[in-house]
A and B are shown apart, each in its own frame.
Chain A
Amino acid sequence: MDEGKPIFVQIAEQIENDIISGALPEEGQVPSTNEFAAFHRINPATAGKGVNRLVDAGVLYKRRGIGMFVAEGARARLIEGRRERFQDEYLGPLLAEAAKLGIDRQQLITMLEKGKNA
């Protein structure tokens, strides 16, 4: 748990990661708010906020009397959303750092290719 983002956002992102990685399959049940709270050692209200964030985004939905489930198509939607943010969150800082260190485009491409094969 780092200090930067609000905890409920971190919880939400962790659930998103699990959905994207397949650990939480679509139409599968998700642990209860209390279970998240106990596992991460945080206040249930905070865990609830994180879960609700995903419900509002249509990633999770509630089946009354049973629990929370991953919505159909959630994985695809999450991946698409992440792709859109990839440019800002990863490429932007990478290019800025490269510029700081004087790494030009050609060198970057070389590094990329090397990295892929490594």
Chain B
Amino acid sequence: MNAVVEVTGLSKRFKDVVALDDVSLSLHENTIHGLLGRNGAGKTTLMQLLTGQDFPPHGTVRVFGQHPVENAAVLRRICFIKESQKYPENFTAGHVLRSASWFYEGWDQGFADQLVREFRLPLKREIKKLSRGQLSAVGVIVGLAARAPLTFFDEPYLGLDAVARQLFYDRLLEDYAEHPRTVVLSTHLIDEVANLLERVILIDQGRILIDDEAENARRAATTVAGRADAVDAFAAGREVLHRSGLGGLSAVTVRGQLSDQDRAAADAAGLDLSPVSLQDLVVRTTSGTDRKEVA
């Protein structure tokens, strides 16, 4: 595995808020990563540091083996699409796409034109007059057509309706299959993208909780449901992520994969086992105040 990004011991605080707390991770080459976490968890701060837009006070950041800050050789290979992007006064959508084509070596104009048609983006309209969805479409089109070796999408779907979102995912997958690159997708709509991801990074309150293959993350927890006493007996000694109950029944989400013996035991006790979706896993792991960290 080639690591295009290596972060060690990265910490950053804003006044009295710890945005990132001793974060270490690597991004694998030619892999789609999901960067998941709640609002304010540190996702955007992390991406700003990786793209040289912010300055790391503690720890090291290596992108393509070098420091990214003010490093044209590294930055020209990065595309960072964020939802709060500012655009020059009076710029039209067409101006933005044209400008982007000058800075990304891999820019594919044909692909950009196709995407403009599919997203129905009015090229001659000024940016400030675009709807939220159209504004997101501009970002998505730049991110896809730029074909940058390292591309970050920070919640690129705001305002996009379900059809447009699906279009984005489909084009991303297709283009990624033909032109592999390293992609980082930061999103709240986890279930929608779960199947696109190869790796999952979950960050909460500035700390990395999960940094694993998507397949492993998906099977990192199981829900056990049935009669309350049987459930409690089964869950004893296991790490419980979530508990809910209704009358004499209860359902518990336990961390960890269950062995065949566990499954047999659950069956025998009349308990129902069901998998936990990635979204539920993320929600249940990050909503409690009593966080457990993955080693």
Contacts and interface: CB of A to CB of B under 8 A. Distances in A.
A42 B31 contact: no
Contact of B195 (A4, A7, A33): A7
A38 B174 contact: yes
A46 B275 contact: no
A3 interface: yes
Interface string A25-65: 00000000110011011111110000000000000000000
Contact of A7 (B169, B178, B215): B215
A8 interface: yes
Interface string B218-250: 110000000000000000000000000000000
Given A3-B276, A4-B275, A34-B177, A42 B170 contact: no
B173 A37 contact: yes
B275 A44 contact: no
B195 A44 contact: no
Contacts of A43: 32, 173, 195-198, 214
Given A38-B174, A43-B198, A3 B218 contact: yes
Given A3-B277, A6-B219, A37-B177, A45 B31 contact: yes
Contact of A46 (B176, B198, B277): B198
A37 B198 CA distance: 12
B interface, by DSSP: helix, strand, loop or mixed? helix
Given A3-B277, A43-B32, A43-B198, A38 B218 contact: no
Interface string B187-203: 00000000111100000
Contacts of B178: 34
Contacts of A44: 173, 176-177
Contacts of A41: 169-170, 173, 195-196
Given A34-B178, A38-B170, A45 B198 contact: yes
A1 interface: yes
Contact-size category for B: 20 to 34
Interface in B205-224: 214-215, 218-219
Nearest to A42: B195
B227 to A, nearest CB: 15
Contacts of B32: 43
B215 A8 contact: yes
A81 to B, nearest CB: 20
A3 B275 CA distance: 6
B185 to A, nearest CB: 11
A1 B275 CA distance: 12
Contacts of A40: 195
A40 B176 CA distance: 15
A38 B195 CA distance: 11
B191 to A, nearest CB: 10
A42 B195 CA distance: 5
9 closest pairs, A vs B, by CB?
A3-B275, A34-B177, A42-B195, A44-B177, A45-B198, A6-B215, A4-B275, A43-B198, A43-B196
